Structure formats: structure tokens, C-alpha cells
Amino acid sequence: MDLSKLVVEDAARGSFRVHRSAMISEEICALERERIFDRCWLYVGHDSEIPKPGDFRRRTVAERPLVLIRGRDGRVRVFYNTCPHRGAMVARQDKGNADTLTCFYHGWSFNSQGELIAVPEQAGYSTQFSKADHALGTPPHVDSYRGMHFVNFSIDAPSLADWLGEAKTIMDLSLDAADVLGGWEIIRGSAKYDIRANWKLMAENSVDGYHLPTVHQTYLSYIAQRHKMAGAARINTNAVYKASRSFAIANGHGGITVGMPGRPIASPSPFWTEEAIAEVGRIRERLLERFGAERGAEMADNSRLMIIFPNLAFQDTHSGFRFRQWWPKGPGLMEINQWELVPREENEEIHAYRQELSLAFLGPGGFATPDDVEALESCQTGFKAREFEWSDVSRGMHRQPQQSDDEIQMRSFWRQWHAMLQGHARAAHFDDPATPVAALAEERK
């Protein structure tokens, strides 16, 4: 297979195509495992999930069983969930609090710092046997960014800060915004479901502004109906569109910002009581005061949806703030994990509204998720027409700035995917090259 021809772009013609074997080939899926998932920084979990010493969460990351645990010393660590003795998993529950993790097979015990502290019948081992040589293993690189913990299984990984790069600026808008309300915490529970589609379709879908008016028609009319019942003005979709943009960031990240009113963090919704609207107005003022008029307004009024390459969506929107992660289980099947975050000190009414909207839109039984699942599975079925080889991801290549229904964020993803699949660390360029708009206009005459 000629990997170099899987993504083909032609800036002069404004064309960007992805070969559909990328979504159906077993061979590509195996290469992705080795060249992408074994080399990228991958999200494991959030600080707020393990607030107390001994708290742990079991996670599967790039097929490895892991444990995220807060030690007695307060430090968060990530261990391989496999006993150094003969392999059994030392954490057998998805979450819990434990002073020690005791392997159920032969009873070796480890403390929350991963040290082996007890071996039944230790006299059976030679005098050279040292507990210090049999601590729990840890991935080659573990690091965190503002409460978000990541791992990287590659020895020669770039630093996490380097990898996230400019994405940090976008993340900071959401992370700083909640600081005035005690910071974000993940609420109990998570959503977990499978989709019969290739994982990269979820990367695209998580930052796709183009499908909103078509796939999510039912949701949009539900919201319009609610506005009407509340006696509120209709949402000016034109104004929302004008205040929205797509963006691309180095290393395959990218997303959209949407100027949508009614964000729980600091833009009042017409459905709230006067008291809640006043409270949110006060929060907005605090943001403007603390972070300046421009950045404060950006935090308060704009939604941001971003993918962190390869498999994390960071979505701070009018329907709540969530992390969504997807894992390939073969070329035509993926698993989704989704967590909701709320500001610790948020007003109860707004808190309830946030959760209600999130469930209504992105819960597995909400308005959006089943429609998105249907769309993605439909694409995957379409790919079975294997003689039809190409998908088009060229929308907006000829214009700057990019509109929110353009696809520059997906091109950033695909360029990085293509570079890594061929064994490179980074795409040669993540942005659209300066497109000869004038030349295109000439051509169209």
C-alpha cells in the first residue's frame, strides 16, 4: 500500500481528499496502533476524579490496562495495571480508594506509590530478591496539564507542553474561566458507548460545524420551541455564524469557536430565573475584570470545541463542558468515553440547567448523539462501496478566516495523521497554505 497517497491536497485547486481505505483497512488500523497511539500523548483522567490519597481509577489507554492513583504523598501517578509477579491486574475495580493494592492471584501487595510492600512466604525467594526491583511499572512518560493527566508510551516523546502547543491557549480560556468558581470537577458517572464506525470519523464529527443544521435539525427546532415558550427572541443564527470560526493548530489539533448565547459559565439564558441571570452577569463582570475586556468576553460568551490529536475532544459549549475520548476497536468500530465537568461553586439552578442541556444534547439518549451515531455509521456503510475511493475535506480552503462550517480543523487532523502514519513526528504544515484566491477567481471567470 502506498501510504503517501492516502491524503492528497492541491492548494491551487482548493482540493483536499482522503482515501477511504483509511477508514476500512485492517493494515492501516494496525499501523495506527503502532505509529499514532503508541507515540502520541493520550489523556488518562482528571485530578478531580481522585481527590483523596488512595483514590484510584482504572483506565484502558491504547489497549494498556492502567491505574491512575493519588499516593499518600498527594502525588498523582499512573501505573500499568499488571502485577510484576506473573501479570494479573492489581486493581480489579474501576474505581475506589485503597491504602494498598493487593494482587488477588498470589497476594503481593503494593502501596499507593506503587512500591511492593508485602510478598507472602518471601522465604521462598533467594536472598538476592529485592522488593525494590518489583514495583509497579509506569509508562515512559506521564505528565499533566492543569489537572488533566496524560501518558505517552514512546521513549522519545516530545514534552506534553510542546505537544499541546497553542492548544493550551484555547484550553486556558475554559480552565481560567472556572477558576472564579473554584475550578472544574468531573461529575459522577460517565457515558460509554460503541459506534460501528472508524474512530477518525468521531475526530471529524466532534468539531464539525457544517452538519449542525442538517443532522441536528430536531435539536435546533426543540431549542427554538423552548425559546418561543419562554417568550424569548429567536436565536439569530446569522449572528451566531458571523461570530464563529474554525481554527487549526500544529500537531493535528484544531476546532471551532462559536458565539452562541446562553452558555452556563457567564452568558445568561432566557430560560433562567432573574436571580440566575443576575448571578451569571456578576460572573461575567468578574471575568472581564480579572482577565481584561477582550479575553474575559471570549471566555464568557464563546463556546469552544477542540480536538486534541488523536482522540480527545475538549468541548466547552452552551450545552456543558465535557471531555470525549474515542478508541479504535478495529477499523469499523470504536468505543466512546465521555465525562461532564462543572465548576465546583456554580449556582444550583445553572448547574441543573447545564446538566439538563448536556443530557438533552449529548447524552446517549439525547437529541444529538443518536443522530451523530446514525451519520457516522451511515458513512462507514457507504465506505463499503470500495470502488468509490475518496472523501472530500476541502471546505473553506480558499478563504481566510475560516468560517465555523469550514474544515480547516479537520485538515489539521488529517495532515498530522498522514505524517505520523508514514513515520514522521509532525506534519510539514498544519494550516492551509496561502491559497491563491485570486488565481481561483480568475479560473472561475
d(CA 62, CA 230): 46
Q: Which three cell numbers stand for residue 137?
A: 511499572
> Which of ligand FES, Fe ion, none does residue 372 bind to, with CB < 5 to 8 Å depending on kind?
Fe ion
Bridge partners, residue 142, by sequence: 151
> Which of ligand FES, Fe ion, none does residue 384 bind to, with CB < 5 to 8 Å depending on kind?
none
The CA-atom distances, in angstroms, between 61 and each of 45, 325, 326, 401 are: 10, 10, 10, 36
Supply angle C-alpha 116, 117, 120, rounded to 5.
100
For the bound state, the minimum distance from the C-beta of residue 216 to Fe ion, rounded and expressed in Å, comes to 6
The CA-atom distances, in angstroms, between 230 and each of 233, 269, 273, 376 are: 9, 10, 11, 34
Which residue from 28, 83, 180, 307 is in contact with ligand FES, where contact means CB under 6 A?
83
Amino acid at 329: K
- Name 387's Cβ contacts closer than 8 Å, sequence gap at least 6: none
> Which of Fe ion, ligand FES, none does residue 88 bind to, with CB < 5 to 8 Å depending on kind?
ligand FES
Which residue from 5, 75, 92, 106 is in contact with ligand FES, where contact means CB under 6 A?
106
Across the chain, how many H-helices and E-strands are there? 14, 21
d(CA 422, CA 331): 18
For the bound state, the minimum distance from the C-beta of residue 89 to ligand FES, rounded and expressed in Å, comes to 9
Count of positions on this chain that bind ligand FES (CB under 6 A): 10
End-to-end, the C-alpha distance of the chain in Å comes to 39
Q: Does 86 bind ligand FES (CB under 6 A)?
A: yes
Cβ closest to Fe ion, residue 60 vs residue 218: 218
Q: Does 424 bind ligand FES (CB under 6 A)?
A: no
For the bound state, the minimum distance from the C-beta of residue 211 to Fe ion, rounded and expressed in Å, comes to 6
> Which of ligand FES, Fe ion, none does residue 106 bind to, with CB < 5 to 8 Å depending on kind?
ligand FES
For the bound state, the minimum distance from the C-beta of residue 114 to ligand FES, rounded and expressed in Å, comes to 14
Cβ closest to Fe ion, residue 244 vs residue 251: 244
Residues that bind Fe ion (CB under 5 A): 372
Cβ closest to ligand FES, residue 83 vs residue 312: 83
d(CA 199, CA 29): 10
> Which of Fe ion, ligand FES, none does residue 86 bind to, with CB < 5 to 8 Å depending on kind?
ligand FES
Here's the x/- map for ligand FES, 108-127, by CB under 6 A: it reads as x-------------------
Number of other residues whose CB lies within 10 A of the CB of residue 220:
16
Using CB under 6 A, list all residues that contact ligand FES: 83, 85-88, 103, 105-108
